[in-house]
Amino acid sequence: MYGSIKYGTLKYAVNNIYEDEIKLYTPDLMKYLPPYYKNSKVMRNIQESNAKEIGKFNYSKKDLLDQLYVDTATWGLNRYEKDLGIETDLNKSYEDRREIIKAKKRGSGTATKKMIKNVAQAFSGGEVDIIEMFSDYSFLIQFIGIKGIPKNMQGLIDMIETIKPAHLGYSFKYTYTVWNFLSKLTWQNNKTWNDLKVYE
């Protein structure tokens, strides 16, 4: 098969999705022919067959180019993971795997406050502050750019454990909506307690 689709890896109904994607890259070759071919069933069949092959090629070309960038890679993520020494976990979403890859790239070299901040920001998608507490050999990671607990916390914890010096402890501090801000809301807002904790 073409592009990222390898024999024996397709699940049921995936082929339909693949065919639909190919249609987006398939040209209408009949419009390039003289008008007298318009009603020729034989010529239409030939051109549709040719167009489908061109569509497969165009799809495969775009799919291959997508693998060159972490933000668009799918089946190529394992190449980045292998290069960075990250264990491939196919149970994780593409988004989670991309976060780990980007964090690992940012976390290469000697662990510094700036490096840990960059790694935490890669996972949270928002601004982070690192507060060093020299007296008890630890640091605090405070999420100030987003409210609540970031989605892929386990990935962040694993990455912090990998890059931080072994003798340093760490903790997290999250940002939530303050009660005074919520006091103007009525109970008709149909929000759960968890929704209200991160209400903007």
- Report the mean per-residue pLDDT for the chain: 81
Percentages helix, strand, coil for the chain (3-state, rounded to 5) are: 50, 10, 40
| pLDDT tens column, 90-120 | 998 998 899 888 878 876 667 788 888 988 8
Query: 96: which residues sit within 8 A by CB, 6+ positions away?
Result: 151, 152, 155
The C-alpha atoms of residue 111 and residue 116 are separated, in whole angstroms, by 7
What confidence category does residue 191 fall into, taking pLDDT thresholds of 50, 70 and 90? low
What confidence category does residue 140 fall into, taking pLDDT thresholds of 50, 70 and 90? very high
The C-alpha atoms of residue 41 and residue 24 are separated, in whole angstroms, by 23
Name the more confident of 104 and 130. 130
What confidence category does residue 60 fall into, taking pLDDT thresholds of 50, 70 and 90? very high
Name the more confident of 116 and 14. 116
Q: What is the DSSP letter of 33?
A: S
The mean per-residue pLDDT over the stretch 62-88 comes to: 92
Name the more confident of 57 and 102. 57
Give SS3 for 125: coil
Residue 171: strand pairing partners: 140
